[in-house]
């Protein structure tokens, strides 16, 4: 079997790269190493090589974790790079530093160095090729058939006085989203109303964005744990006010010139703006993006024959006019007509035109001018944007599943809700672990439920041993319920010094449809 | 100082005469045409530095004249007269490179637009060097408008 693409290792671990190269050689795949990574170098490498898999070694002391994570976020939002599998390699030293936010920043797999590398390679190649790469047999606890509420890793992107924005792989059809909001621990509400949903990401590499209403107390219900006081929100925003203006504003760049990427990322990193880069967008995607992100500046490399033509610009402007308090400056590059002409034909005064194609010095000069003149005047504490590595960004959309089987390597479960491929799920039982969905099949020809296989990853050897023992134990002594009490009993019997998390809400719903 | 040659194209004869009189100080020579075919003939035979053209004319409209000109790699500024219902034509014209659009019958800013058009048509190389400063200046004006 051959993977018609290149695998990249970003790190300095010679042994790891040797093992990776050897594995790649066996399957006739090219492996590439970059020992250190300057800003923009990852983007450049992605442009120059047909990369399908990127291992980023966080144990490398020269790796700037924040910068790399930002660049991965930047790249994974661009459609042509969305199929690249990003894997984070770390050790115990980085375990606490690498928070859950990496799984909502474009990483879809993780690995604790020191564990079985060949299994890692087989799992990753299996994910990208769709083939079952390994034949290891793990002890399996089968026929568990117990309900469980799993968390789908999602991003809390921003919060304002009345609402907050979530980005997720999960496409949710209902009007209420089951989610926990840890930044307000006293708010016990489990379901939040969706006021708007968009099939495009706002700032992070997830295809769905939801604007959710904050349940503000009306006064008479101030004792309820299902609502939040307006004062609480405004105090929180004031407390975080210094960070509020950073990255809370957006710029769109629409161009097919991928060579802009490395420098554009650099601008994105240093700027107060969040820069969204797209090669092209459908009309629906553009409208969604405009209404959600309300970019201050929109750069468009005009095409005569492609999608980014004057008709498309005309549609953008029509959409802009439907959105309240939204007046972006539109910069049209590669235009044969003058700014005056386009302002009149498009009936929009805030148009700037250049005859040449977009280049980064031009983009940078306009951004800088805008920052100096406009942006700093708009610093408010009315909303907060969560930056890429902010651990508070990590939230979980809840989903009820029925666990079918469990090994130390994978978990198989049934779900009535269709789940996205490669979504990262967060389990809290019997200990915290993440699992990536790698396979889906319908339960049967007549059912609307699906069986999923999710590979467990990123575990230390110690935790793997606990999980292994747990699985072996429940093979011979099946659990009556996946409850905190029952699991703690099993762990106690294993003489393992480990406690099930007490702050995790368990949801064992009787008479659930999954029981049928 | 040489100002360049202007071509006025419109099927309204009286309008063309009036404009020729009003604009005679702006150009070295003003040519006139009453339809697209005549305009193309003049463009082929004379050195024209700027065109002012009605966008909506019978037989051959202003956009078709523009397309023809551009297909021969002639990039001189093209100013259109527009009226009610010519939005589709304006969009089409913009794809091929329009300098400006002026509404009939008031032609607000006509002299200024033609002066700039002639200047650009006569000194096209100036366009690239002046552009960056003008662009930033225009940008600052837009930002200032945003503050209002």
Alpha carbon of B99: minimum distance to chain A alpha carbons (Å):
5
Chain B residue with the nearest C-alpha to that of A304 = B95
Alpha carbon of B132: minimum distance to chain A alpha carbons (Å):
9
Write out residues 14-53 of B within 8 Å (CB-CB) of A.
Answer: none
Alpha carbon of A429: minimum distance to chain B alpha carbons (Å):
54
**Model pLDDT, residue A133:** 63
Residues from chain A contacting residue B131 (CB–CB below 8 Å): 354-355
Q: What residue ranges of chain A have pLDDT lower than 50?
A: 502-516
Chain A residue with the nearest C-alpha to that of B99 = A338
Cβ-contact A332, A351 below 8 angstroms: yes
Contact of A336 with chain B, judged by CB distance below 8 Å, is answered with: yes
Contact of B90 with chain A, judged by CB distance below 8 Å, is answered with: yes
Q: How far apart are CA A215 and CA A186, in angstroms?
A: 13
**Model pLDDT, residue A493:** 83
Q: Report CB contact under 8 Å: A345, B96.
A: no
Cβ-contact A11, A56 below 8 angstroms: yes
Q: Report CB contact under 8 Å: A345, B98.
A: yes
Handedness of CA A307, A313, A248, A230 (dihedral sign): negative
Q: Indicate the residue of B94, B131, B140 with minimum beta-carbon distance to A345.
A: B94
Q: How far apart are CA A138 and CA A406, in angstroms?
A: 9
| Residue of A306, A330, A336, A364 to mutate for B, most B C-beta atoms under 10 A | A336
- Per-position b or e across A264-282, b if 16+ CB within 10 A of its CB: bbbbbeebebbbbbbbebe
Q: Report CB contact under 8 Å: B139, A329.
A: yes
Three state DSSP letters for A369-399: HHHHHCHHHHCCCCEEECCCCCHHHEEEEEE
Retrieve residue B92's tokens. Answer: 């089409």
**Model pLDDT, residue A515:** 39
Q: How far is CA A295 from the centre of its chain?
A: 21
Q: Indicate the residue of B94, B143, B147 with minimum beta-carbon distance to A310.
A: B94
| Residue of B136, B137, B146 to mutate for A, most A C-beta atoms under 10 A | B146
**Model pLDDT, residue A496:** 63
Alpha carbon of B59: minimum distance to chain A alpha carbons (Å):
23
Q: Under DSSP, is residue A211 helix (H, G, I), strand (E, B) or coil?
A: strand
Quote the Cα angle for B5-B9-B12, to 5°: 135
Contact of A372 with chain B, judged by CB distance below 8 Å, is answered with: no
Retrieve residue A101's tokens. Answer: 């936010």
DSSP result, A12-77? --HHHHHHHHHHHHHTT-EEEEESS--TTHHHHHHHHS-EEEEEEETT-TT--HHHHHHHHHHHHT
Q: Report CB contact under 8 Å: A337, B147.
A: no
User: What are the distances in angstroms from CA A255 to CA A84, A110, A141, A472, A486?
Assistant: 21, 33, 51, 55, 56
Contact of A344 with chain B, judged by CB distance below 8 Å, is answered with: yes
Cβ-contact B59, B36 below 8 angstroms: yes
Name A290's Cβ contacts closer than 8 Å, sequence gap at least 6: A316, A319, A320, A323, A326
Contact of A352 with chain B, judged by CB distance below 8 Å, is answered with: yes
**Beta strands B5-9 and B29-33, pairing class:** parallel
Alpha carbon of B98: minimum distance to chain A alpha carbons (Å):
5
Q: How far apart are CA A384 and CA A160, in angstroms?
A: 6
Closest C-alpha among B15, B16, B18, B60 to residue B41: B60
Residues from chain A contacting residue B83 (CB–CB below 8 Å): none
Q: How far apart are CA A180 and CA A184, in angstroms?
A: 9
Name A47's Cβ contacts closer than 8 Å, sequence gap at least 6: A258, A259, A261, A262
DSSP A299: E
Long-range contacts of A495-500 (CB under 8 A, 24+ apart): A496/A466, A496/A469, A498/A430, A498/A431, A498/A466, A500/A428, A500/A429, A500/A430, A500/A431
User: What are the distances in angstroms from CA A50 to CA A125, A373, A421, B143?
Assistant: 15, 41, 22, 41
Q: How far apart are CA A396 and CA A381, in angstroms?
A: 25
Cβ-contact A236, A183 below 8 angstroms: yes
User: What are the distances in angstroms from CA A107 to CA A28, A39, A96, A394, B84?
Assistant: 25, 18, 17, 13, 55
Name B64's Cβ contacts closer than 8 Å, sequence gap at least 6: B36
**Model pLDDT, residue A290:** 87
Average pLDDT, stretch B28-38? 95
DSSP result, A84-103? PEEEEEE-HHHHTTS-GGGG
DSSP result, B126-138? HHHHHHHHHHHHH
Strands (E), A76-233: 85-90, 107-112, 146-160, 163-168, 176-178, 191-198, 208-213
**Beta strands A146-160 and A163-168, pairing class:** antiparallel
| Residue of B131, B136, B142, B148 to mutate for A, most A C-beta atoms under 10 A | B142
Q: How far apart are CA A494 and CA A488, in angstroms?
A: 10
Q: How far apart are CA A197 and CA A167, in angstroms?
A: 10
The model's pTM is: 0.87
CB pairs under 8 A between A and B: 74
Retrieve residue A484's tokens. Answer: 């905190």
Residues from chain A contacting residue B119 (CB–CB below 8 Å): none
Alpha carbon of A372: minimum distance to chain B alpha carbons (Å):
11
Residues from chain B contacting residue A337 (CB–CB below 8 Å): 93-95, 97-99
Write out residues 296-335 of A within 8 Å (CB-CB) of B.
Answer: 304, 309-311, 314, 327, 329
- Per-position b or e across A114-138, b if 16+ CB within 10 A of its CB: eeebebbbbbbbbbbbeeebeeeee
**Beta strands A51-57 and A85-90, pairing class:** parallel
Q: Report CB contact under 8 Å: A329, B142.
A: yes
Cβ-contact A56, A10 below 8 angstroms: yes
Higher pLDDT, B105 or B35: B35
Which neighbouring-strand residues pair with A56? A10, A88
Q: How far apart are CA A516 and CA A416, in angstroms?
A: 11
End-to-end CA distance of chain A, in Å? 41
**Model pLDDT, residue A428:** 81
User: What are the distances in angstroms from CA A98 to CA A69, A92, A101, B7?
Assistant: 10, 10, 8, 69
């Amino acid at each position: 079997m051959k993977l018609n693409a290149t695998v990249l290792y970003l790190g300095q671990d010679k042994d790891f790269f040797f093992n990776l190269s050897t594995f790649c050689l066996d399957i006739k795949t090219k492996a590439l190493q970059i020992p250190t990574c300057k800003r923009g170098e990852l983007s450049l490498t992605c442009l120059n090589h047909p990369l399908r898999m990127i291992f980023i070694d966080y144990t490398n002391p020269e790796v700037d974790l924040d910068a790399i994570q930002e660049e991965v976020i930047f790249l994974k939002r661009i459609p042509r790079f969305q199929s690249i599998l990003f894997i984070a390699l770390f050790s115990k030293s980085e375990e606490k530093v690498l928070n859950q936010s990496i799984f909502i920043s474009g990483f879809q797999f993780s690995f604790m160095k020191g564990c079985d590398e060949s299994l890692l390679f087989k799992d990753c190649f299996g994910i990208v090729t769709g083939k079952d790469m390994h034949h290891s047999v793990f002890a399996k606890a089968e026929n568990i058939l117990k309900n469980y509420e799993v968390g789908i890793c999602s991003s809390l992107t921003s919060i304002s006085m009345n609402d907050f924005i979530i980005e997720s792989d999960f496409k949710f059809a209902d009007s209420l989203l089951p989610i926990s909001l840890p930044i307000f621990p006293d708010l016990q509400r489990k379901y939040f109303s969706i006021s708007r949903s968009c099939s495009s990401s706002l700032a992070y590499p997830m295809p769905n964005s939801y604007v959710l209403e904050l349940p503000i107390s009306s006064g008479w219900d101030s004792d309820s744990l299902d609502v939040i006081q307006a004062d609480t929100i405004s105090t929180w925003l004031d407390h975080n006010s210094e960070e509020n203006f950073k990255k809370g504003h957006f710029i769109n760049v629409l161009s097919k010139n991928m060579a802009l990427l490395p420098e554009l990322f650099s601008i994105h990193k240093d700027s107060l703006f969040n820069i969204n880069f797209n090669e092209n967008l459908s009309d629906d995607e553009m409208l969604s993006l405009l209404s959600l992100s309300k970019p201050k500046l929109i750069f468009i490399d005009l095409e005569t024959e492609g999608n980014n033509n004057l008709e498309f610009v005309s549609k953008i402007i029509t959409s802009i006019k439907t959105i309240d308090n939204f007046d972006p400056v539109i910069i049209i590059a590669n235009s044969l007509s003058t700014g005056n002409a386009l302002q009149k034909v498009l009936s929009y005064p805030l148009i700037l035109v250049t005859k040449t194609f977009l280049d980064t010095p031009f983009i940078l000069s306009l951004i800088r001018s805008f920052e100096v003149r406009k942006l700093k005047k708009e610093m408010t504490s009315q909303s907060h944007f969560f930056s890429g590595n902010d651990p508070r960004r990590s939230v979980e959309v809840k989903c009820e599943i029925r666990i079918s089987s469990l090994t130390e390597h994978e978990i198989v479960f049934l779900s009535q809700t269709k789940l996205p491929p490669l979504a990262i799920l967060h389990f809290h039982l019997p200990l915290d672990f993440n699992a990536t969905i790698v396979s889906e099949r319908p339960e049967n020809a007549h059912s609307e439920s699906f069986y999923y296989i999710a590979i467990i990853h990123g575990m230390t050897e110690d935790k793997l041993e606990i999980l292994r023992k747990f699985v072996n134990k429940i093979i011979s002594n099946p659990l009556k319920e996946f409850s905190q009490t029952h699991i703690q009993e099993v762990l106690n019997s294993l003489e393992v010094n480990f406690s099930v998390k007490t702050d995790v809400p368990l949801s064992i719903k009787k008479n659930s449809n999954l029981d049928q | 100082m040489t100002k360049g040659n202007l071509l006025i194209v419109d099927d309204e004869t009286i309008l063309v005469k009036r404009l020729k009189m009003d604009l005679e100080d702006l150009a070295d020579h003003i040519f006139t045409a009453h339809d697209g075919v005549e305009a193309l003939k003049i463009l082929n035979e004379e050195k024209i530095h700027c065109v002012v053209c009605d966008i909506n004319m019978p037989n051959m409209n202003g956009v078709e004249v523009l397309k023809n000109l551009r297909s021969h790699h002639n990039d001189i500024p093209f100013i259109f007269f527009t009226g009610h219902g010519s939005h589709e034509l304006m969009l089409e014209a913009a794809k091929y490179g329009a300098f400006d659009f002026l509404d009939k019958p008031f032609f607000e800013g006509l002299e200024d637009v033609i002066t700039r058009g002639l200047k650009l048509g006569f000194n096209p190389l100036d366009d690239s060097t002046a552009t960056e400063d003008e662009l930033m200046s225009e940008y600052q004006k837009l930002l200032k408008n945003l503050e209002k």
